[in-house]
DNA sequence: AAACAGGCCTAAA
DNA sequence: TTTAGGCCTGTT
């Protein structure tokens, strides 16, 4: 990968495995949206950006300094996904899955945002999850300005910790409101130290997260994978259950994918949801 | 209209 | 330790 400043954008060239649609629409994040030209805009880690592909280059709004301090890490650009795809190609089904999903990457998302977002995601569909999170950010997040437009950062835990269930009723997120507030209180008070969790192994961090009401096995695994960037976490939702049942034995163990089980999961999930593996 | 949606919690075996 | 029913809300 090479990069250089081009007016208000940074141009990345020679980027391998970088497909905007697969990265943003594979189900891992909820705050990026594309316009009719395929230009994505969104907010991560308190920064707004626009990002687009033109021919073989990726253009990200902002300076080289922004790119180096924020986006390079966020997009996990120093990891060789091509190599990982080869490693995960362990049987016919996985080869098809990684081939189909080539170009997706696991974003290194902000920890608290991941916790809160995946609490909201439970028993919900993506459009509604995105709508709720957008409303939450508009109401409680700091304003961010980019290119004459206003964006909103993900609200800090201390802000949400002081809200009542009634204060969140406008979100219409139902029983999840209480979970959000409890999680915000736990993080704000220091009872749950997300930075410290990042240093534990997957099993210990899962257990710490599952101590929160409203965080079960699936949600906790999503938080560990997408928020703590532990690539061996393996979230299993209904789609994953289905695809595992179709392609593996009852004694299936994600350990067969080694330390990249979480990435394997994302290829499987994306492939399963596409419905392409049925035909 | 009733069931379901990218789970979780609680009560009950 | 496993299973059933209920939960907010929006959609089909």
**Can you give the distance from the CA of residue A121 to the C1' of nucleotide B5 in angstroms?**
10
Phi-psi domain of A197 (left: phi exceeds 0; alpha: psi -120 through 50; beta: other): alpha
3 state DSSP class of A237: coil
Q: In the complex, which nucleotide's C1' lies nearest to the CA atom of residue A176?
A: C8
pLDDT score for A274: 85
Tell me the mean pLDDT per 10 residues along chain A, length 279. 97 97 95 96 98 97 98 98 98 97 98 98 95 97 97 98 97 97 98 97 96 97 98 95 92 95 97 77
**Can you give the distance from the CA of residue A123 to the C1' of nucleotide B5 in angstroms?**
6
**Can you give the distance from the CA of residue A5 to the C1' of nucleotide C9 in angstroms?**
46
Using CA atoms, how far residue A270 sits from A28, A68, A194, A265, in Å, is 10, 29, 27, 8
pTM: 0.97
**Can you give the distance from the CA of residue A180 to the C1' of nucleotide B7 in angstroms?**
15
Instruction: Give nucleotides in strand B with any atom < 7 A to a protein C-beta.
Output: 5-10
Q: In the complex, which nucleotide's C1' lies nearest to the CA atom of residue A128?
A: C10
Q: In the complex, which nucleotide's C1' lies nearest to the CA atom of residue A179?
A: B8
**Can you give the distance from the CA of residue A46 to the C1' of nucleotide C4 in angstroms?**
43
**Can you give the distance from the CA of residue A76 to the C1' of nucleotide B12 in angstroms?**
46
DSSP string, A183-201: HHHHHHHTSS-HHHHTTS-
pLDDT score for A278: 60
Q: In the complex, which nucleotide's C1' lies nearest to the CA atom of residue A132?
A: C9
pLDDT score for A135: 97
pLDDT score for A250: 87
Q: Say if CB A31 and CB A43 are below 8 A apart.
A: yes
pLDDT score for A279: 46
Instruction: Give nucleotides in strand C with any atom < 7 A to a protein C-beta.
Output: 7-11
């Amino acid at each position: 990968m090479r990069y250089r400043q081009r007016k208000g954008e940074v141009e990345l060239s020679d980027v391998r495995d970088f497909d905007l649609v697969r990265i943003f629409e594979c189900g891992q994040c909820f705050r990026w949206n594309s316009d009719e030209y395929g230009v994505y805009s969104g907010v991560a880690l308190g920064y707004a950006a626009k990002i687009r592909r033109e021919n073989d280059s990726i253009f990200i709004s902002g300076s080289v300094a922004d790119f180096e301090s924020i986006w390079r890490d966020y997009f996990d650009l120093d990891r060789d996904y091509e190599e990982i795809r080869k490693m995960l190609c362990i049987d016919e089904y996985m080869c098809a899955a990684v081939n189909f999903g080539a170009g997706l990457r696991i974003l290194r998302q902000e920890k608290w945002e991941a916790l809160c977002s995946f609490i909201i995601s439970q028993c919900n569909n993506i459009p509604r999850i995105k709508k709720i999170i957008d409303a939450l950010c508009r109401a409680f997040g700091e304003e961010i300005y980019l290119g004459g437009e206003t964006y909103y950062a993900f609200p800090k835990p201390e802000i949400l910790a002081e809200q009542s269930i009634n204060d969140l009723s406008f979100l219409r997120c139902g029983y999840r409101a209480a979970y959000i507030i409890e999680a915000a209180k736990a993080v704000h008070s220091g009872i749950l130290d997300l930075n410290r969790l990042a240093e534990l192994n997957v099993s210990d961090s899962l257990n710490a997260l599952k101590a929160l009401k409203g965080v079960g096995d699936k949600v906790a695994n999503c938080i560990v994978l997408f928020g703590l960037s532990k690539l061996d976490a393996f979230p299993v939702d209904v789609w994953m259950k289905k695809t595992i049942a179709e392609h593996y034995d009852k004694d299936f163990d994600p350990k067969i994918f080694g330390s990249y089980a979480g990435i394997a999961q994302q290829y499987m999930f994306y492939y399963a949801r596409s419905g392409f593996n049925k035909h």
